[in-house]
Structure formats: structure tokens, C-alpha cells
Structure 1
Amino acid sequence: MFTGIVEIMGTVSEYNKKDESESGGSGVSITIQDASSILTDCHIGDSIACNGICLTVTEFSSDSFKVGISPETIARTNVADWLPGNKINLERAVSQEVRFGGHYVQGHIDTVATIVSIKEEGNSLVFGFKLRDSQYGKFIVEKGFICIDGTSLTVTQVDGDGTFYIAMIAHTQHVVVMPLKKIGSLVNIEVDLTGKLIEKQIEVSLQNQFNDSHSTLNKLIESLIDQKVKQYLNK
């Protein structure tokens, strides 16, 4: 679990598409350096959010760490676009001592979005985004939480076509990667877990009531049908 409060920006130093080493597992691995300040208490198997993706440390030194990348992660995220030299937002998993300044972030990316606009507004930058997978738009609401490249942000506006916006204050601009990106760049999106949980609970509740012929919902439907039939017969 994470908070979406980025600790530092690391740098991609190596992108190995077939890492034959034990720590690479004969798969895709990425090594990220300039990370010394978050590795003082690191252990093999720890989780670190890298641009919002919860990844497992398979090897580390005093300044860098390696993570394995699954095909699912490549399909869901912008990790395929990472290149050596790219800056990456980094956050360790929460501990009991961490103040919860952002929101509950799993590090499980739902989809990616394209930056479609960047506009200065006072000392803030207003970014506009368009989702690749529109089905996640129902979880993005004005003043709701969203995690973009691992940064906890507040949605300021949602247009009718699904474009949504965030405003980034001057402080945040200096500590996260987004201001380094351009229009057309992809960002990782994790929508607020609360919305997904509520949708699932409603779906299960409705299905259970449909399956129970004596449920309140089924009785209400039967009553409405009876009323409509009577209205039709009385015409």
C-alpha cells in the first residue's frame, strides 16, 4: 500500500528485455539508480512504487535497485516507453510511522492516459488527460482522488467527452516527473479504489436480489409490472 506522496525521483539506468540473471528471472528487468535515500532500509522482496507501479525489488545496492516486469505490467502501463535516463517517481510502501498525506494507493495500475493539454494558471500547471480505456472514466469525478504516475492528485474538472484535469502547485512541479513530460506523453492511471469497491458491492447486492424471488427488489419490480398491466387494461 502507498500514499501517492512521491519521495524522490530516480533515474532508469538499465532496461533489460531478457535478463538471464537470477534476479532477472529470464524476463524483463529494469534498474533504477539515484535512489540511495529510499534504500537505507531496503530488503529483497520489498515493494517500491515506480511511476505508480507496485514493483518488487529483486536486487539492490546503496544507490540502485532492480525490479522485474511482467507481461501484464507491460500491457497495462507506460513501462514499455521507459528509456535509460528517464526520471521515475519513487515511493516506498507505507510503514506504521508514515503520515498518510495522500490517499490509499495500491500501485495496481488500471490503464494509461495521454496528456492532451498543459496550461499555466498562476503558479500552477493545469494538465488535461484522455484515458486509453474509457470504461475507467466512471471512477473519475470532480474533486475525487486519482493517482497519476504514482502522484496523489485531485481531479479539478471532467469534460463531457471524458477529458479530465488536475492542477499541480509549484512545490509538486519540482518533485515529480510530470512537468518533464510533453503533450502526447503517456501516464499511468490508478483510479480511486473506493469507487471500484462501491460498484462491486452494488453489483453483487443487485445480483443477489435478482436471484431471490422473495427479495425486496423483486417484489418492487412485480408491483410496478402489476401497476402497468392494470393501467394498460383499464385504457
Structure 2
Amino acid sequence: MFTGLIEEVGRLRRVARQGQAMILVLEGSRVLKGVQIGDSISVNGVCLTVVAYDDSTFTVDVMPETFRHTTLSSLKPGAPVNLERAMAAGGRFGGHIVQGHVDTTAVILSRAAEDNAVVFRFSPHDPNTLKYIVPKGSITVDGISLTVVEATEAEFSVSIIPHTLAETILQHKTPGDAVNIECDVLGKYVERLLAFRGHEGAAGGRGQASASRLTATFLAENGFL
């Protein structure tokens, strides 16, 4: 699990491709402190497993599923990348729950200065993900924990403070560029639970289904919807 607080901007050193499988060699410094084989590191919001490392680089495998559904497939040697190690037990939880499991990619529609901030507007390639994106809710863009400013049926926006812009690869992003998007996992779990409403106990011959007390009305009355 990650928090969406980028630790450093690294760089892609080498790419080896075989079909839709890739091996990436990435440069880093902070994320290599205490690294071990099997550790998880988020690369532009994608949770990847360290399979080799040295004093200045680490190596990860990218499987075809990840190749098809993230922007990693378009990375070229020299490209900057957002890096974050998995959250350590007892660490500060400064962002939100980030799994490193990308839901969709999105294209940047616009980038505009607003006093000390920069407002980005995005259009997800999978419009079904917009149901999980709510104003003032959390969203992960290329691994960065951000707060949604506005959300419509076609797009959403976030506002970036100068520190976040300077310390992440968003500083290089312009309209037309693609980014990885991970929606807040809480909404996805709620949707899944509601889909099984009234079916508890029906599977496996465990008796008659019982009605769930978790309903859309209950969630709305308690401020979840």
C-alpha cells in the first residue's frame, strides 16, 4: 500500500520489450535506501516488484496486463518518473489509501494557472471510472494523491500547489499527455458490497439469503453518497 506522497522523481534508464512484456531499469536514490528483492515501488502510480537492484538503479518486470492498461508502455529511456516506496508500518499517512492498481488512463485537457496553483483538467479513457470520482474526494494521478476540485459526467479537475508541481513529473505535463488514474478504493468496495445486497448466505448451500442492512439509503443518510 502507498500514500500517494511522491518521494522522488527518478528516471528510466533502460527498457527491454518482448511482445507486451517489459523489463524496466530505473534510476533512484531515496527509494533505494533499505531496498530488498521483492519490495514494492510505485512507478507513476503503478505498483511494481523489485527483481534486482544496485547502488543507483532497480529493475522491475511489467506484465502484459499492466502494459495494456497503463502509460508505462509509452515510456522511453530518459523519461522522468514518480517514485514511492510502499508505506512502512508506523509511518505518517499523509495522503490516502493508494494501492498502485491503475483503473484507467486519462488525457490532460487543459493546464491553467490560478494564482499560486495550477489547475489540471482530465478526461478518463474509461468513462465508467467517473462514478468513483467525487468533488473533494481523493484521486491518484501518476501516483500522486490529489483532491478532486470538480467532477462531471465527462471529466474532472484537480488543483496543484507549487511544491507538488515542483517535486513530481506533473511539472512536465501538458495538454494531450496521458496519465495513470487510480480512483479511491472505498467507492469500489461500497459498489461491490451493494451488488451482493440480499445474497449473503445464498452461496455454498449455507441457507436462505438474508437481507443486508447496507443500502444506498443508509449510505446517503450517513453522508457516504
TM bin, normalised by shorter chain, reads 0.7 to 0.9
1:196 aligns to 2:188 (yes or no): yes
Q: Give the total of aligned pairs.
A: 209
Residues 27 and 210 (structure 1), Cα distance of their counterparts in 2 relative to 1, 3 Å cut: closer
Q: Determine the structure 2 residue equivalent to 1:12.
A: 12
Structure 2 residues not aligned, in runs of 5+: 213-225
Superposed, 1:113-192 pairs within 5 Å as 113-159=106-152, 161-192=153-184
Distance 1:114 1:13 in 2: 25
Distance 1:27 1:210 in 2: 41
Equivalent position SS for 2:168: coil
Residues 27 and 71 (structure 1), Cα distance of their counterparts in 2 relative to 1, 3 Å cut: closer
Equivalent position SS for 1:62: coil
Deviation at 1:61, TM superposition (A): 0.8
Distance 1:214 1:71 in 2: 39
Deviation at 1:215, TM superposition (A): 6.1
1:32 paired residue among 26, 39, 46: 26
1:78 aligns to 2:78 (yes or no): no
Residues 162 and 38 (structure 1), Cα distance of their counterparts in 2 relative to 1, 3 Å cut: same
Structure 1 residues not aligned, in runs of 5+: 20-25, 218-235
Residues 209 and 97 (structure 1), Cα distance of their counterparts in 2 relative to 1, 3 Å cut: closer
Q: Determine the structure 1 residue equivalent to 2:96.
A: 103
Identity level (%): 38
TM-score, normalised with respect to structure 2? 0.87
Residues 38 and 204 (structure 1), Cα distance of their counterparts in 2 relative to 1, 3 Å cut: same
TM-score, normalised with respect to structure 1? 0.83
Q: Determine the structure 2 residue equivalent to 1:44.
A: 37
Q: Which has the higher helix share?
A: 1
Distance 1:216 1:4 in 2: 37
Equivalent position SS for 1:43: coil
Distance 1:147 1:71 in 2: 22
Equivalent position SS for 1:102: coil
Deviation at 1:158, TM superposition (A): 1.1
Q: Give deviations 1:83-132, integer Å, cap 9, x for gaps.
A: 11111000000112320000000001111010001010001100000010
Q: Give deviations 1:48-76, integer Å, cap 9, x for gaps.
A: 00000000001111111110000000111
Distance 2:18 2:4 in 1: 30
1:58 aligns to 2:58 (yes or no): no
Work out which of the two has the higher radius of gyration on C-alpha atoms and give 1 or 2: 1
Distance 2:4 2:154 in 1: 23
